[in-house]
């Protein structure tokens, strides 16, 4: 009888211990929804959910579940009834979208038992400051979950983890082993340096810092495109395609019919007015925002500056050289032609003083200074900048031409000519 009573007491004590354990909180975190399905932002879907999962895992009696666990519960709802009384199950449902350089993230907290929304919030951050966005996102989710987090019960007995335990000093044997290991490592480092100096171990790894007379040096000035990061190749291909479009054909032009008015001072000449409007193509900034994962973005009125760093891109030498030498700059050259396509008048909108001093006996040549480049590139050893100005440049070219020549004009042709090829191109017209 005494044994039976002892067994029953032990059983009840065990049951009491089980029910004394505070209920748990199951949080289901699944990949976020990329609202506008932007390919450049796809990686954020898993990045946001991983960051939340990693931080919630540190919470006491909070169990983070993934999409597989959610599908299990949704297909078999009876699993919820098998949990300890008081256990809560929440789904963190997130979506995000980008507007220029801003990220807009929305979070819903769903009670899986009833499928009711218990909380919803939204934050805004900057795409080029993902670390700050992640921190704000994690804090927001923790705040939403705080009313449901298990409250730890304080025991009257101290736990084994309370207080700072004293560390047992190492034994003489362990100290001898540590000293021997340090000596062996020093000998191996010395042998490696001697082997490298005679070429036995090949070349020094350029990605590792080296010690020279007590100074640690990491030289990355000799990096070239052939030794660039292979994981950046896909981004680089996209960047080259976009930059070539920017350099070769960035402008859109609106041409109006020229107006011919008799010169009141000379009836044998016309005063010609040719209105032209220059601006960047409307799709350029849109393509830049959607196609390339830029490292930074700055908006200042009509000026937009994109930053691209070597941590995401390899800078091809031909692109870098083209930027450094200014070969991307182009000049508008306008031809007023007859029916056979022969130029009768040539208008060059250039600030080049040599161009402005050109003359021709065959055609009417005029130089102007109305056009200004709306795009600029800067490249350095570590970063590249692309500056775009979204303004219109209305130009009204006015010049005089004799009546007979003017009567033969039948069409207007405008061509953007690279600045370094302008002299050669004009020589074929003049």
User: Would you kindly state where each structural domain of the chain is located, as residue ranges?
Assistant: 2-148, 230-427
The answer to whether residue 225 scores a pLDDT higher than 70 is no
Q: What is the pTM of this model?
A: 0.49
Mean pLDDT value of segment 98-121 = 84
pLDDT band at 335 (very low <50, low <70, confident <90, very high): very high
pLDDT score for 409: 93
The answer to whether residue 235 scores a pLDDT higher than 70 is yes
Ranking 205-209, 233-237, 376-380 by mean pLDDT, the lowest is 205-209
The answer to whether residue 209 scores a pLDDT higher than 80 is no
The answer to whether residue 8 scores a pLDDT higher than 50 is no
Q: What is the SS3 assignment for 153?
A: coil
Ranking 135-144, 188-197, 316-325, 386-395 by mean pLDDT, the lowest is 188-197
DSSP state of 204: P
pLDDT one-digit tens code per residue, 254-302: 999 999 998 888 888 899 999 999 998 877 777 776 666 677 777 777 8
CATH architecture under which domain 2-148 falls: 3-Layer(aba) Sandwich (3.40)
pLDDT score for 274: 94
Which range has the top average pLDDT, 153-157, 168-172, 388-392? 388-392
Distance CA 72, CA 85 (A): 20
Mean pLDDT value of segment 176-191 = 67
- Neighbour count for residue 127 (Cβ, 10 Å): 21
Cβ-Cβ contacts under 8 Å for 30 (sequence gap 6 or more): 49, 66, 67, 70, 91, 92, 93
Residue 179's beta-bridge partner residues?
none
Q: How far is CA 336 from the centre of its chain?
A: 45
Q: What is the SS3 assignment for 303?
A: strand
pLDDT one-digit tens code per residue, 49-79: 888 888 887 777 788 888 888 877 777 777 8
pLDDT score for 176: 61
Cβ-Cβ contacts under 8 Å for 372 (sequence gap 6 or more): 393
Mean pLDDT value of segment 190-201 = 57
């Amino acid at each position: 009888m005494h044994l039976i009573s002892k067994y029953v007491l032990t059983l009840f004590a065990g049951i009491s211990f089980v029910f004394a354990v505070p209920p748990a909180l199951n949080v289901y975190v699944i990949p976020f929804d990329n609202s506008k399905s932007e390919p450049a932002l796809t990686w954020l879907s898993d990045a946001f959910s991983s960051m939340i999962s990693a931080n919630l895992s540190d919470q006491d009696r909070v169990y983070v579940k993934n999409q597989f666990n959610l599908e299990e519960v949704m297909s078999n709802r009876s699993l919820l009834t098998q949990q300890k009384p008081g256990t809560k199950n929440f789904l963190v449902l997130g979506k995000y979208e980008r507007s220029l350089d801003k990220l807009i993230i929305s979070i819903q907290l769903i009670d899986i038992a009833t499928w009711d929304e218990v909380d919803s919030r939204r934050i805004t951050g900057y795409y080029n400051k993902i670390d700050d966005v992640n921190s704000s996102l994690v804090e927001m989710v923790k705040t939403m979950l705080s009313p449901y987090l298990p409250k730890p019960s304080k025991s009257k007995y101290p736990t084994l983890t309370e207080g700072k335990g004293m560390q047992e000093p190492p034994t003489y044997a362990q100290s001898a082993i540590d000293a021997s290991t340090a000596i062996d490592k020093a000998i191996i480092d010395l042998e490696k340096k001697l082997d490298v100096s005679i070429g036995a171990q090949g070349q020094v790894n350029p990605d590792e810092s080296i010690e020279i007379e007590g100074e640690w040096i990491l030289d990355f000035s000799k990096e070239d495109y052939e030794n660039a990061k292979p994981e950046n190749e896909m981004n680089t291909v996209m960047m080259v395609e976009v930059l070539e479009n920017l350099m070769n054909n960035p402008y859109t032009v609106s041409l109006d019919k020229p107006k011919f008015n008799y010169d009141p001072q000379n009836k044998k000449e016309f005063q010609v007015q040719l209105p032209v409007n220059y601006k960047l193509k409307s799709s350029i900034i849109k393509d830049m925002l959607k196609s390339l994962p830029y490292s930074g973005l700055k908006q200042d009125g009509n000026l937009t500056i994109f930053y691209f760093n070597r941590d995401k891109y390899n800078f091809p030498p031909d692109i870098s050289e083209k930027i450094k030498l200014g070969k991307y700059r182009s000049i508008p050259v306008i031809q007023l032609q007859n029916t056979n396509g022969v130029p009768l008048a040539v208008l060059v909108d250039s600030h080049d003083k040599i161009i402005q001093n050109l003359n021709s006996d065959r055609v009417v040549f005029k130089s102007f200074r109305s056009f200004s480049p709306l795009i600029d590139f800067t490249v350095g050893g570590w970063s590249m900048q692309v500056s775009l100005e979204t303004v219109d440049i209305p130009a009204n070219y006015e010049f005089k031409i004799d009546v007979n020549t003017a009567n033969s004009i039948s069409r207007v042709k405008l061509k953007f000519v690279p600045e370094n090829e302008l002299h050669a191109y004009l020589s074929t017209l003049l």
